[in-house]
Homo-oligomer: A and B are copies of this chain.
Amino acid sequence: MERTEIESLGEFGLIQHLTQNNETRQASTLLSVGDDAAVIDHFGKQTVITTDMLIEGIHFDLMYTPLKHLGYKAVAVNLSDLCAMMATPSHITMSLAFSNRFSVEALDEFYEGVYAACEKYNVDLIGGDTCSSQKGFVISVTAIGEVTNDKFVTRDKAQVGDLICATGDLGASYIGLQLLEREKRIFLENPKVQPDLQEKAHVIGKFLKPEPRLDVVEWLQEQEITPTSMMDISDGLSSDILHICRQSNVGCIIYDEKLPIHSETKEIAMDFGLSGTSCALNGGEDYELLFTISQADYDKIVMSEKISVIGYITNPDEGTQLITQQGNKHKLVAQGWRAF
């Protein structure tokens, strides 16, 4: 494979190279890449802004993460935060730091994924920064979206009696990561062993190429359902529902048997000596939506195959509980970020 050194292009040549096929799709993009800053017209809508940083060795491992998937995922996880506000993504900025072990071709592959996500979600890449790092690949994305005035949904307005809903299925991404980590160990011990991941496409796909649930946001808007609270599931359901409960000053009951867990997740979890439930509760990186709705919206929600009702909001005194299939109660405990 060809290898073009980044220094052969220089900073401005590199930016020019990486952005030459950058299309703008949004009428609101008045000025894109190439000046001190970009300019957006919001046409009277409110703007929703989020930002995330991804660090090699902490958030991703290039040994089993194809660069194209990484580019796609870096965009997707930010768009997921916008979806969690009921906002429609419109723009991103993308800053990168990389060492000289990266070639122009490697960056091209990464940007292929970035542009694929932009195309799929109708988002314009309007700015960024590229610089060198002494070690490791660093990605920082800021995503911008829009909402009709005051139609954004926060985490702090869940009401007692509201139904708790989750989209898609949970725990798959965590199991996908466990599989990839296992294959990495096997490969490092014996590089001749080829992995067979064909029948594991769902869990691997959920980990490597998560999709923000813009489809669900649009469906909720069509159905005129406004969640009372919403966030995306990035740290694991247990940890994330606690944010809603704390910020809304309520409690919750979640039913184990209602948790949406893919059969592939359950099967492979068993191989690892894990239960599907614990993966769903503590796995993280699902990038599904977690939201609460008024009971009056139940009849509408039940029509959607994408959404599961997994419990309900209680008085704060009742705490945050999981009801097992045997009817036992367990306190939900956050098992999120332990990066330090």
Contacts and interface: CB of A to CB of B under 8 A. Distances in A.
A27 interface: no
A55 B97 contact: yes
A30 B150 CA distance: 9
A140 interface: yes
Contacts of A38: 48-50
B134 A57 contact: yes
Interface stretch (A3-11, A182-190, A304-312, A324-332): A3-11
Interface string A22-59: 00000000110011111111101011111111011111
B135 A232 contact: no
Contact of A132 (B37, B147, B339): B339
Nearest to A91: B49
B337 A58 contact: no
Contact of A149 (B41, B59, B230): B41
A128 interface: yes
Interface in A119-166: 126-129, 131-136, 138, 140, 142-145, 147, 149-150, 152, 154-156
Contacts of A147: 39
Contacts of A49: 37-40, 91, 93, 126-127, 142, 144
Contacts of A177: none
A231 B51 CA distance: 25
A76 interface: no
A138 B39 contact: no
B58 A48 contact: no
A300 to B, nearest CB: 23
A297 B97 CA distance: 42
A134 B132 contact: no
A129 B339 CA distance: 13
B93 A51 contact: yes
Nearest to A100: B340
A55 B7 contact: no
Contacts of A59: 131
A132 B134 CA distance: 16
Given A11-B339, A95-B52, A142-B51, A85 B39 contact: yes
A81 B140 contact: no
B231 A152 contact: no
A46 B34 contact: no
Contact of A337 (B11, B81, B340): B11
A133 B54 CA distance: 10
A26 to B, nearest CB: 12
Nearest to A6: B340
Contact of A154 (B35, B126, B156): B35
Most B CB contacts (10 A, CB to CB) among A50, A52, A55, A126 go to A50
Contact of A340 (B7, B52, B128, B142): B7
Interface of A: 5-7, 10-12, 30-31, 34-42, 44, 46-53, 55-59, 81-82, 84-85, 87, 91, 93, 95-97, 100, 126-129, 131-136, 138, 140, 142-145, 147, 149-150, 152, 154-156, 230-232, 247, 336-337, 339-340
